[in-house]
Amino acid sequence: MISLSDYPILSRKHRNLVGISSSVPIEVLYAADKTVIDLNNIFITSPKNQEILKNSSDFAPATVCSWTRGVLASAILLKIPQCVVVTQGDCAHTIPMLDVLSANGVRTVAFEYPIDNDFDKLKNEINSFARIYGVNISEVEYFKEKFDEIRRVLKKIDELSYRDLKVGGFENHLYLISASDLNSDPDTFLNSASAFLKQASSRNAFEISLRIGHVGIPPIFSDYYDFISSLGSEIVFNETQRQFSLIGGIGMSVYEAYHNYTYPYFFEKRLNDIKEAIKERRLDCIIHYVQSFCFHQIEDRMLRSGLGDFPVLTLEGDYPAPLNENDKLKIESFVSYVEKKKHGKNVKHIAGCRLNKALVGIDLGSRSVKIACVENGCRKFQIYETMDFILKYLSGPDKAEAAGRFEKDLREDLGIKSVTIDYFSTGYGRYRAKIFSALPFSEIECHAVEAAEATGLKDFTLLDVGGQDIKTIEVFDGAIKGFSMNDKCAAGSGRYIENMARILKVDMDEISRYYENPEPLSITCATFGETEVIGKLIAGVDIKKIIAGINYTVYARVEPMLERHRSKSNTLVVTSGITNNKAFIKLLEANSGFSRVLVPENAQYSGAFGACLKGVSG
């Protein structure tokens, strides 16, 4: 388990250690000769953060956000003697957090930012905070001036991000977030930030495609910034990290600086700061990071309506871990969509593809692998179960042999005659298809491009219900105008229907028969839905009504997503395996309000054919 010996600087200063739950006027604590440690930074940078979370169940249930559990457990397990907890202006969990810390022997001090941003109330709060620590305000102001020297360096690092493009999004994040406690050692932090500034100033400017803003609390993903950089774009604005660094309050008194700080107050103050950043930093789009189980999620609607048409992607994280495939797909599709708006095309071009070749698209989904081939104007296809495909072609040690075997089988199964085959991939496992030298494309683009090709339409809403996700896409004038994906769980997706069919011991043909008179079901979770369905069976409900209820439940899950992207032409195109479920299509026709509901031919292979089209067109 974690201990202070993992943190040599802290163990030396253990006696004077004060943990903070969020940014507070650290000048007061340093003036009182304390060593400040931001518990969020300790938790997220610990190589044992998974272990910390596992051990947090003694202090908070798993339905509380990971940051709260991580902060609580870090403070208690590290035996931090005292903590300052921000009980107003930070987090809805902090009042019970005070109780839990006290019950575990941690001395606590509450700090409150006045939600209405009233200057006098804040001044009183800072004065009483200083009194608790036995320091006067001129001592506090001395440290404010001293730390402004560090903040001036950080401001220059921030400017190197958005003005000069010499500092990457992660570096910007790291230096600004570290200012919340000055890495527990202000002098050493000043030296390291100054050395970094000198080194970064001498770099050449990066060439980037998009200037992205990160809004919301810092992301919990470990590879978030690297993934965005790998797409050729960069985060040039880290909203809350910049606020935590207090670089906006350089030269101000301690009262003015924390009054100017936006994070603890009404959302409007944050929104104005974000709008200024959009202009000053010439942002192309924003990623709004929200944490699972966090009340800040409510602010997403306010952000979107406050920014009007400005492109915003909402990304939700839960545990400290790398981005999952679903998250990557969302980011990739969003970046690609904004790139098209900005540059008129994607920056990532593909090598030209001669049409005397066969084109093969591989849609590597969570439940099935759909393969489409276009050769001499003919379309052919085949399907595998994902596990069979992985075991047959993707799990052996000799990748070249597996790729050769795959091509041989493909030629035989689909009768491919062309000497050369160009491979393209999409779906959840599109990067695994690299062993066939397949060029990957996002599912959003592949489904949209194929739906437009198959229907000849330029203005429609697209619905794709996959094995474990649901996507709705609005296409306007032939281009993607917006899209939504369900949360990361498989609720309401193909897996839910398959699981329910297994419980009922019926096949998919039977499922696709019933839609009238549905039994009300409340759970779309692919796992917990079982309990509800078994309960209905035990209660003697007619199985046809239960099946209709299952189909209706999926419909009810997609309905608000469709509404969000209703096309001007009021036409809905449905792709993917769900199109085999006639009952579901009937429900869409009867209830969705679309004047036309179209299912293209071979709609299950839309993604795979779309990958071929993307490959040809770039």
Binding residues vs ligand SF4 (CB under 6 A): 65, 67-68, 91, 93, 217, 291, 294-296
Minimum CB distance to ligand SF4, residue 93 (Å): 5
**462, 573 contact by CB (below 8 A):** yes
| Beta-bridge partners for 398 | none
**CB nearer ligand SF4, residue 29 or residue 85:** 85
Q: Using alpha carbons, list the distances in angstroms from residue 158 to 154, 193, 234.
A: 6, 11, 13
**CB nearer ligand SF4, residue 292 or residue 382:** 292
Minimum CB distance to ligand SF4, residue 296 (Å): 5
Minimum CB distance to ligand SF4, residue 327 (Å): 17
**CB nearer ligand SF4, residue 291 or residue 524:** 291
Distance CA 495, CA 589 (A): 22
**CB nearer ligand SF4, residue 91 or residue 587:** 91
Minimum CB distance to ligand SF4, residue 295 (Å): 6
Cα angle value 463/469/474 (rounded, 5°): 30
**CB nearer ligand SF4, residue 291 or residue 604:** 291
Minimum CB distance to ligand SF4, residue 304 (Å): 19
Q: Which H or E run contains 312?
A: strand 312-317
**CB nearer ligand SF4, residue 292 or residue 326:** 292
Helices (H) and strands (E) in the chain, counts: 25, 18
Q: Which H or E run contains 140?
A: helix 137-162
Minimum CB distance to ligand SF4, residue 330 (Å): 19
Minimum CB distance to ligand SF4, residue 234 (Å): 25
Torsion angle, CA of 461/465/469/473, rounded to 10 degrees?
A: -10
**CB nearer ligand SF4, residue 266 or residue 528:** 266
Cα angle value 527/529/530 (rounded, 5°): 75
**217, 67 contact by CB (below 8 A):** yes
Q: Which H or E run contains 455?
A: helix 443-455
Name the CA radius of gyration of the chain, rounded: 27
| Beta-bridge partners for 86 | 111
**CB nearer ligand SF4, residue 108 or residue 461:** 108
Buried b / exposed e over 457-476, threshold 16 CB at 10 Å, is: bebbbbbbbbbbbbbbbbbb
Closest CA to 259 of 268, 267, 248: 248
**CB nearer ligand SF4, residue 89 or residue 361:** 89
Minimum CB distance to ligand SF4, residue 293 (Å): 7
Minimum CB distance to ligand SF4, residue 34 (Å): 23
Minimum CB distance to ligand SF4, residue 426 (Å): 33
Specify the residue for token string 């039977």: 510
Distance CA 173, CA 95 (A): 28
Q: Which H or E run contains 132?
A: helix 119-132
**CB nearer ligand SF4, residue 39 or residue 611:** 39
Residues sharing a CB contact under 8 Å with residue 391, sequence separation 6 or more, in sequence order: none
Distance CA 297, CA 292 (A): 8
Minimum CB distance to ligand SF4, residue 43 (Å): 10
**CB nearer ligand SF4, residue 93 or residue 214:** 93
Distance CA 414, CA 269 (A): 60
Residues sharing a CB contact under 8 Å with residue 325, sequence separation 6 or more, in sequence order: 428, 429
Minimum CB distance to ligand SF4, residue 534 (Å): 34
Q: Is 22 helix (H, G, I), strand (E, B) or coil?
A: coil
Minimum CB distance to ligand SF4, residue 19 (Å): 14
Minimum CB distance to ligand SF4, residue 217 (Å): 5
Specify the residue for token string 């042999």: 401
Minimum CB distance to ligand SF4, residue 179 (Å): 18
Q: Take residue 329 and report the two structure tokens written for it.
A: 């797909």
Distance CA 474, CA 65 (A): 32
Residues sharing a CB contact under 8 Å with residue 45, sequence separation 6 or more, in sequence order: none
**CB nearer ligand SF4, residue 292 or residue 418:** 292
Specify the residue for token string 């599709």: 333
**CB nearer ligand SF4, residue 93 or residue 380:** 93
**CB nearer ligand SF4, residue 294 or residue 546:** 294
User: N- to C-terminal Cα distance for the chain?
Assistant: 51
**CB nearer ligand SF4, residue 178 or residue 366:** 178
Report the phi/psi class of residue 469: left, alpha or beta, with left for phi > 0 and alpha for psi in -120 to 50.
beta
| Beta-bridge partners for 359 | 374, 422
- HSE-up of 506 (CA within 13 Å, CB side)? 16
